[in-house]
Structure 1
Amino acid sequence: MTARRRHIVKRSALLLLIAALPAALTTARRGPEDESVFVRGLRPDQREAVLYVWTSDADQKDPDFLTTIDVNPKSPSYGKIIATTPTSSPANEAHHFGYTVNADRIFAGGLFSNRLFIYDVASDPKHPKLLKTVPDLAASTGYSGPNTFYAVPGGVLIAMLGSKDGGAPGGLVQLDNDGNFVKAMPAPNYMYDVGIKPELNLIVTSSWAHPHAVKAGNTPMDQVGDEVVVWDYKTGKVLQEEHLDKAPLEVRWLHGAAARGGFINCAFGNSLWYWEVGKDGKLVFTRVVKLADGSIPADMRI
């Protein structure tokens, strides 16, 4: 394994996105277990039974896989891996995944391979089944580098880092629940994360780097974005573009229908920013925390 690949694998291990399945629940539910506000979650008095981890093979030789861990404290296998469900391909750079609205499927992406893997996690939550592989999102959507998977009614919205050839621009791509292409919305330039506030009819997206720069490693700062884009949720029109510090990554609206603000972390700017809807309807962004150089705040949850 090359030094670059070791770095990527190590980084992936630190940044694995894990999510818990609201397993075997039949009542109407809604909660914050997924970043998407549309995903139906657990009631406050319930807890998850299993944990899913989207996993890269360490030496990139065997297929990547979805790991299932028992997190029921009353179970004899509590805290143990109880299943692994492989893809059919290695070296995808397993990165992020997200649920569909009903939390019955997981969409998991290969950041470098542009493959999409759709898992059934409802039929047998402890033993997920790979339902479908979309072999090349770049070919089917015109964009590459699938990063964030955000459930929306009728499908999943994917934040794509770059264009079909790995350059600029990135964009938002919507697929239906079977992985079929619905529409694409080109970004002004960079793309990373996405967050939707349906009560305000707003989408906020963030920036990282284009796929060819990410694959090369040690991305120069002049190839890292600093812009945050505000969109009209219903029309997909870009409403506003703001430049913050380098690498504004995680888009986190405050919870609750009445909330009008949120936070974003600028990893290479070592800062945290707060935004709120101003009197003119535009978002106003303010740096609220400045960290020491090299802090690199890489993730954030609210």
Structure 2
Amino acid sequence: MDRCRVQCYEYPTCPDAVKAPREEVAYVTCTYRETCIDQPDFLATIDLNPRSPCYGQVIHRLPMPNLKDELHASGWSAACPCFDNTTTKRNKLILPCLISSRIYVVDVGSECRAPKLCKVCLR
């Protein structure tokens, strides 16, 4: 199984979730709020494979198309509660914004190490 293409599994307890395969990447929202940098916020992809030469490093940056959004946490977790539904795919990351009324939808399923923006929603 391609460990980047995370599917939902049934983890009835936290210890069961701990036994799951390690995540290979992490997605971190990065903002420029209250800085002198006039650039869009971005989603950083971090390599979590301890055997990788890029371990612990940002391997990709996905800039958002607008300024002053202040991306917020996505709530992403490998141990998602999709009980009794192994067909559910977790291939989209939802990124709400605190300052603007935008919600970004990011495709993390096609290429987990270099996600792409697939939709912008206005609340």
Per the TM superposition, whether the score is higher than 0.5 is yes
Relative to structure 1, is the Cα distance of residues 116 and 45 closer, same or farther in structure 2, using a 3 angstrom cutoff? closer
More strand by share: 1
Aligned partner of 1:225 in structure 2 is none
Match of 1:113 among 78, 86, 100: 100
Higher relative contact order (CA 8 A, sep 6+): 2
Q: What does residue range 68-147 of structure 1 map to in structure 2 within 5 Å?
A: 68-99=45-76, 102-134=89-121, 136-137=122-123
The letter of the residue matching 1:24 is R
Q: Is the 8 A contact 2:27 2:44 kept in 1?
A: yes
Specify every segment of 5 or more residues in structure 1 that has no aligned partner in the other structure, as ranges: 1-21, 33-41, 138-302
Match of 2:26 among 30, 33, 51: 51
Distance in 2 (CA, whole Å) between partners of 1:60 and 1:114 is: 21
Any idea what the Cα deviations from partners look like across 1:188-242, whole Å, max 9, x if unmatched?
xxxxxxxxxxxxxxxxxxxxxxxxxxxxxxxxxxxxxxxxxxxxxxxxxxxxxxx
Q: Is the 8 A contact 2:28 2:45 kept in 1?
A: yes
Q: What does residue range 1-302 of structure 1 map to in structure 2 within 5 Å?
A: 23-25=4-6, 29-31=9-11, 44-57=19-32, 58-59=35-36, 61-99=38-76, 102-134=89-121, 136-137=122-123
In the alignment of these two chains, the number of paired residues is 105
| Cα offset, 1:107, TM superposition | 0.4
Q: Is the 8 A contact 1:51 1:69 kept in 2?
A: yes
Aligned partner of 1:262 in structure 2 is none
| Cα offset, 1:102, TM superposition | 2.8
| Cα offset, 1:90, TM superposition | 1.5
Distance in 1 (CA, whole Å) between partners of 2:20 and 2:58 is: 25
- The percent of aligned pairs where both chains have the same amino acid is 32
Secondary structure, in 3 states, of the residue corresponding to 2:73?
strand
Secondary structure, in 3 states, of the residue corresponding to 1:96?
coil
Relative to structure 1, is the Cα distance of residues 103 and 25 closer, same or farther in structure 2, using a 3 angstrom cutoff? closer
Q: Is the 8 A contact 1:105 1:120 kept in 2?
A: yes
| Cα offset, 1:60, TM superposition | 5.3
Distance in 2 (CA, whole Å) between partners of 1:75 and 1:96 is: 26
More helix by share: 1
Secondary structure, in 3 states, of the residue corresponding to 2:65?
coil
TM (normalized to structure 2)? 0.74
Distance in 1 (CA, whole Å) between partners of 2:50 and 2:93 is: 24
Secondary structure, in 3 states, of the residue corresponding to 1:95?
coil
| Cα offset, 1:84, TM superposition | 0.4
Q: Which runs of 4+ in 1 moved over 2 A?
A: 57-60, 98-102
Secondary structure, in 3 states, of the residue corresponding to 1:82?
strand
Relative to structure 1, is the Cα distance of residues 123 and 31 closer, same or farther in structure 2, using a 3 angstrom cutoff? farther
Q: Is the 8 A contact 1:63 1:89 kept in 2?
A: yes
Larger Rg: 1
The letter of the residue matching 2:10 is R
Distance in 2 (CA, whole Å) between partners of 1:55 and 1:30 is: 31
Secondary structure, in 3 states, of the residue corresponding to 2:99?
coil
Distance in 1 (CA, whole Å) between partners of 2:93 and 2:63 is: 14
